[in-house]
Amino acid sequence: MLSFLAILPRSLVTFFYAAAALLRFYGDAETIPFEQYGFTYTVLDWSLVAFLAASVLLLVAIGIEWHGGNRRRDQEAEDRAATAEARDRAVAAAEREARRDYLAAREAERQNRRDILQIRHQLDPSPENRAALRDFLAILEEDR
């Protein structure tokens, strides 16, 4: 039903233009075809009525096509915006994950260094190991 309604204005435009041309070129200018029904139009007048009806239907068909095109473009723009937003969210999530991984790796490296320095100092409490532990403590206090 919807496809029929979509082609109806274009079909009626064609029909009314054909009727206007038929009446204009093949009708008798003096004949009044529907005089018994109260219409006092001549064939040329009916041709003008058919032409005006076709022109109005043409404007309706153009409006329908215009609206359909605008609706389709708006939908495509919304789809592109949604895709871009999803891509931006994915990029932001990936950046957060990379930052989290970087910080976790840095913290693990710091803990490993601390453990190594503590074990060295416990095995050999020399001034070099004490100095290394003091340097490491200074670094930790700076990061705080």
- Cβ(27)–Cβ(43) under 8 Å? yes
The amino acid at residue 7 is I
Q: What pTM did the predictor assign?
A: 0.48
Give the whole-angstrom CA distance, residue 141 versus residue 113: 15
Task: Give the pLDDT of the chain (144 residues) as one tens digit per residue.
Answer: 456 566 667 777 787 778 777 777 776 666 666 666 676 777 777 788 888 888 888 888 888 888 888 888 999 999 999 999 999 999 999 999 999 999 999 888 888 777 777 776 676 778 887 787 777 777 777 766
Return phi, psi of residue 40, to 5°. -105, 30
By CB atoms closer than 10 A (0-12, 13-18, 19+), residue 66 is exposed
As for how many domains the chain has, the answer is 1
In a domain, residue 22? The reply is yes
- Cβ(20)–Cβ(54) under 8 Å? yes
- Cβ(28)–Cβ(43) under 8 Å? yes
In a domain, residue 80? The reply is yes
Give the C-alpha distances (Å, rounded to integers) separating 91 from 3, 37, 85, 95: 42, 75, 10, 6
In a domain, residue 14? The reply is yes
In a domain, residue 89? The reply is yes
Closest CA to 109 of 139, 131, 134, 144: 139
Boundaries of domain holding 7: 2-101
In a domain, residue 72? The reply is yes
At 98 the pLDDT is 95
In a domain, residue 106? The reply is no
In a domain, residue 110? The reply is no
What angle, 0 to 180 degrees and rounded to 10, lies between the N-to-C axes of helices 43-123 and 2-26? 150
At 41 the pLDDT is 73
In a domain, residue 85? The reply is yes
- Cβ(116)–Cβ(104) under 8 Å? no
At 3 the pLDDT is 64
At 22 the pLDDT is 75
At 78 the pLDDT is 94
